[in-house]
């Protein structure tokens, strides 16, 4: 089958999401920082929902240890995650405007790199890097919405993973405590729950539903 | 009294650094909000809580 036209895909999305919400989604611009278990799943959920512009950022390459939970394929091993996920997102949502930046984010480059997007997803794996991004965005870009994830290791109950609204523009998803450094590995199902919380928080912000 | 992560505590006059130390964290893996505003890391030691303040300490754990 030929790939559907932009209009055909938009019409299908509009039918499912409603005209008003789909217009907001298609006009939205979201940055996903870190393309591991959280970020790759968040980006795919947002692309499927018809978010108009995605900015994906990571510096790492696809490793065999990623395949248990991250949205990559064995033939993509060794590729930069930005390139691999760009390919996958382009197949899912061929008319999504995707910007990829293969870069390690730090306090100096974050304000410039994330300037355009109104909503930023923190999807790193290391705790100190999560804190760095969150502090940098909140200190330097108070007009942005920020959706972070913390605590999703292991196979604990799904129901302990929540979305909290810490301040007006800062949302935090996860159970807050399950640390991968405590020896609990990351499992696809539970990482997906946290990623879905983050993606849904983003979609609710886009829809103007700010309460949790 | 100040409210820290939803709990009323007798910590008025303490600095953010003091409170993080009491919680057993160094400040490298946290974000601190005081009355809905972020406290820059550079100001942890010079920011003192006042009676009636509301503080949120977000502690990050690894995994993603």
Average pLDDT over residues A42-67: 98
Query: A127–B36: do the CB atoms touch at under 8 Å?
Result: no
**Domains detected in chain B:** 2-59 (3.10.20.30)
Whether the per-residue pLDDT at A103 is higher than 90: the answer is: yes
Beta bridge pairs of residue A119: A30, A145
Tokens of A78: 């060794």
Whether the per-residue pLDDT at A140 is higher than 90: the answer is: yes
Q: Does A167 touch chain B (CB under 8 A)?
A: yes
User: Hunting for tokens 């919680």 — which residue is that?
Assistant: B23
* Nearest in space to B63 (alpha carbons), one of A100, A151, A117, A157: A151
Tokens of B49: 């809580």
- 3-state SS string over chain A? CCCCCHHHHHHHHHHHHCHHHHHHHHHCEEEEECCCHHHHHHHHHHHHCCCCEEEEEECCECCHHHCCCCCCCHHHCCCEHHHHHHHHHHHHCCCCEEEEEECCCCCCCHHHHCCCCCEEEECCCCHHHHHHHHHHHHHHCCCCEEEEECCCCCCCCHHHCEEEEEECCEEEEECCCCCHHHCCCCCHHHHHHHHHHHHHHHHHHHHCCCCC
Beta bridge pairs of residue A112: none
Confidence of residue A130 (pLDDT cuts 50, 70, 90): very high
Average pLDDT over residues A188-205: 98
Structure confidence at residue A43 (pLDDT): 98
Q: Does B52 touch chain A (CB under 8 A)?
A: no
Query: A123–B64: do the CB atoms touch at under 8 Å?
Result: yes
* Nearest in space to A129 (alpha carbons), one of A42, A56, A34: A34
Q: Does B59 touch chain A (CB under 8 A)?
A: yes
Q: What is the pLDDT of residues A84-94, one digit of tens each?
A: 999 999 999 99
Confidence of residue A182 (pLDDT cuts 50, 70, 90): confident
User: Hunting for tokens 């509009």 — which residue is that?
Assistant: A14
Confidence of residue A122 (pLDDT cuts 50, 70, 90): very high
B4 contact residues in A (CB cutoff 8 A): none
Angstrom distance (rounded) from CA A211 to CA A50: 22
Tokens of A92: 């899912």
**Domains detected in chain A:** 24-207 (3.40.50.720)
Question: What are the residue ranges in chain B where pLDDT is below 70?
Answer: none
Closest by Cβ to A36, choosing from B58, B59, B64: B64
Whether the per-residue pLDDT at A99 is higher than 80: the answer is: yes
Confidence of residue A65 (pLDDT cuts 50, 70, 90): very high
Query: A167–B40: do the CB atoms touch at under 8 Å?
Result: no
Q: Does B1 touch chain A (CB under 8 A)?
A: no
Distance separating the N- and C-terminal Cα atoms of chain B:
36
Please provide the size of chain B in residues: 64
Least confident of A106-110, A111-115, A182-186, B45-49: A182-186
Structure confidence at residue A181 (pLDDT): 87
| ipTM of the modeled complex | 0.94
Q: Which helix (H) or strand (E) holds B19?
A: helix B16-22
Confidence of residue A184 (pLDDT cuts 50, 70, 90): confident
């Amino acid at each position: 089958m030929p790939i559907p036209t932009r209009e055909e895909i938009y019409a299908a999305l509009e039918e499912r999401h409603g005209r008003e919400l789909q217009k907001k989604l298609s006009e939205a611009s979201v940055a996903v920082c870190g393309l591991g278990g959280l970020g790759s799943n968040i980006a795919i959920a947002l692309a499927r929902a018809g978010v108009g512009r995605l900015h994906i950022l990571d510096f790492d390459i696809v490793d065999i240890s990623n395949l248990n939970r991250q949205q990559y394929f064995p033939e993509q091993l060794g590729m930069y995650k930005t390139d691999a996920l760009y390919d996958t997102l382009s197949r899912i949502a061929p008319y999504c405007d995707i910007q990829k930046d293969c870069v390690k984010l730090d306090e100096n480059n974050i304000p410039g790199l994330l300037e355009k997007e109104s909503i930023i997803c923190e999807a790193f794996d290391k705790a100190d890097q999560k804190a760095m991004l969150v502090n940098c965005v909140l200190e330097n870009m108070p007009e942005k919405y920020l959706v972070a994830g913390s605590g999703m290791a292991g196979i604990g109950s799904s129901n302990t993973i929540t979305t909290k609204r810490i301040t007006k523009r800062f949302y935090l998803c996860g159970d807050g405590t399950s640390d991968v450094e405590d020896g609990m590995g990351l499992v696809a199902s539970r990482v997906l729950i946290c990623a879905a919380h983050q993606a849904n928080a983003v979609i609710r912000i886009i829809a103007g539903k700010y309460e949790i | 009294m100040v409210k820290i992560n939803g709990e009323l505590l007798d910590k008025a006059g303490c600095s953010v650094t003091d409170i993080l130390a009491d919680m057993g964290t160094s400040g490298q893996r946290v974000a601190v909000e005081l009355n809905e505003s972020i406290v820059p890391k550079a100001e942890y030691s010079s920011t003192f809580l006042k009676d009636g303040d509301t503080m949120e300490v977000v502690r990050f754990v690894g995994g993603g």
